Structure 1
Amino acid sequence: MFQYEMYFANEYLFEIMTDLSQIMGIKYDKDELQKTFKFDGKNNVENLFLSYDENSQYFICIDCDNVDWIYPLVVRCSDKQHEKVNKCMLEWDNRIREEYGQDLTDHIGNSYGNEDTLLKRIEAKYKISI
């Protein structure tokens, strides 16, 4: 199992979600994503968008809490999908970094099983278990 995490500028939300969901074969409700994106509460679980595969084992998690227009993204994927998922996330990360004049990165590591992860911080923030 693989878990990749990154932050991204919220203006790319729908494109990133579309790309990742296609790679992973996850169907998601675009209206629900739009609703989560437009929700104006702060630190509210309604800011969290989760979309699972058909077996509820793998997922895409986006925290749309509108604190600073930068959203955390967590993707848990299978061994078969991980290379394509990683490549997609790395391409998006570098595309966004380039647009904002930041240094590019050459790696997004597997955080599955790590002690401190973005997913664990999201779970603690909303007091939930994903």
Structure 2
Amino acid sequence: MYQYEIYFANDYLFEIMTDLSQIMGIKYDNDKLQKVFKFKEKNNAENLFISYEENRQYFICIDCDNVDWIYPLIVRCSVKQHEGVNKCMLEWDNRIREEYGQDLTERIGNSYGNEDTLLKRIESKYKISI
């Protein structure tokens, strides 16, 4: 199992979600994503958008809590999907970094099983388990 995590500028929310969902074969509700994107109550679990694969083991999770318009993105994927997911996330991360004049990222590591992850922070923030 692989878990990749980045922060991204919310301008790219829908494009990133489309790309990742296609790679992973996850169908998602675009109307629900729009609703979460427009939700403005800070520190509320309604800010979370999670789209699961059928077996609910793999998912795409985005926290749309609007603190500086930067969103955390967590993707948990299978061994078969991980190369495509990693490549997609790295390309988006570097595209956004380039636009904002930041140093480019060479790689995105697998955070699955790590002590401190974005996923664990989100679960703690909203007092939920994903």
Return the TM-score normalized by structure 2.
1.00
The amino acid that maps onto 1:66 is N
1:42-81 alignment runs, 5 A limit: 42-81=42-81
1:83-130 CA distances to partner (integer Å, 9 max, x unpaired)? 000000000000000000000011000000000000000000000000
Match of 1:110 in 2: 110
Root-mean-square deviation (CA, aligned residues, Å) is 0.3
Query: Structure 2 stretches of 5 or more lacking a match?
Result: none
The amino acid that maps onto 2:77 is C
Show structure 1 runs of 4+ deviating over 3 A.
none
Tell me, yes or no, if structure 1 residue 2 matches structure 2 residue 2.
yes
The amino acid that maps onto 1:107 is R
Aligned mates of 1:116, 1:16 — CA distance in 2: 24
Query: Structure 1 stretches of 5 or more lacking a match?
Result: none
Percent same amino acid among aligned pairs?
86
Return the TM-score normalized by structure 1.
1.00
Deviation at 1:67, TM superposition (A): 1.1
